[in-house]
Amino acid sequence: MEVKIGVQHAPREIVLESGQSAEDVERAVADALDGASKLLSLTDDKGRKVLVPADRIAYVEIGEPTVRRVGFGAL
């Protein structure tokens, strides 16, 4: 699942591929924005943890799971 996070006062967005479901990501964002947690914490496909201060989140875009295609097409 591709997740894009816009951070206030940052020129680039954070993009990560996460194994979490869309519902899990949405729940984590809602908890961070509700004040239940001061950080948005997500884990990417490689096990790295991404932490974003909740008060700096500009937007979160939750995309569809990506399928990587490898190979050559016939002409």
Residue 71: phi and psi, rounded to 5, are: 140, -175
Is 74 within the bounds of a domain?
no
Give me the pLDDT at residue 43, please: 93
Summarize pLDDT for 29-71 with one digit per residue, the tens.
Answer: 999 999 878 999 999 999 999 999 999 999 999 987 656 666 6
CATH code of residue 29: 2.30.30
How far apart are the C-alpha atoms of 64 and 35, rounded to whole Å?
Answer: 27
pTM score, two decimals?
A: 0.79
Is 44 within the bounds of a domain?
yes
Structural domain for 29, as ranges: 2-62
Q: What kind and span of H or E run contains 67?
A: none
Is 16 within the bounds of a domain?
yes
Is 73 within the bounds of a domain?
no
DSSP 19: S
Is 69 within the bounds of a domain?
no
Is 67 within the bounds of a domain?
no
Is 70 within the bounds of a domain?
no
Give me the pLDDT at residue 1, please: 87
Spatial neighbors of 57 by CB under 8 A, at least 6 apart, are: 5, 6, 7, 8, 29, 32, 33, 40
Summarize pLDDT for 13-22 with one digit per residue, the tens.
Answer: 999 999 889 9
Number of domains forming the structure of the chain: 1
